[in-house]
Each structure stands twice: as structure tokens, then as C-alpha cells.
Amino acid sequence: MWSGVSASIDNAGRTGNQQELRLASELLGDIAERERVAMEFLLAI
């Protein structure tokens, strides 16, 4: 997932394509949600 974020940011920088930044933002949101769920699980055990 992190490599996808990196690739999207790189592509946005090279091409100026704003859609790549939107994709990176979506991926970061997904990563954050997964981390939140994992931390809640760890707190519960």
C-alpha cells in the first residue's frame, strides 16, 4: 500500500496529474483506517 502512495505522489510530481494526488489521498485514508482498526483490536486484548 505504501508503495502505491509513493508511486502516485511520484507520478503527480512528474506529470502534474491531480488525479494521482487524489488516489494517494484515498490510499492514505485506507491505511489510516486499517491502522485504527488494528489499534482498537490490540487495546481490546
Domain range for 29: 2-44
3-class state of residue 17 by DSSP = coil
Q: Do residues 6 and 28 make contact, with C-beta atoms less than 8 angstroms apart?
A: no
pLDDT digits (tens, 9 = 90+) for 1-45: 899 999 999 999 999 999 999 999 999 999 999 999 999 999 999
Spatial separation of the C-alpha atoms in residues 9 and 40, rounded to whole Å:
29
Domain count, the chain: 1
In this prediction, residue 20 carries a pLDDT of 97
Q: Among positive and negative, which fits the CA dihedral 22, 27, 31, 33?
A: positive
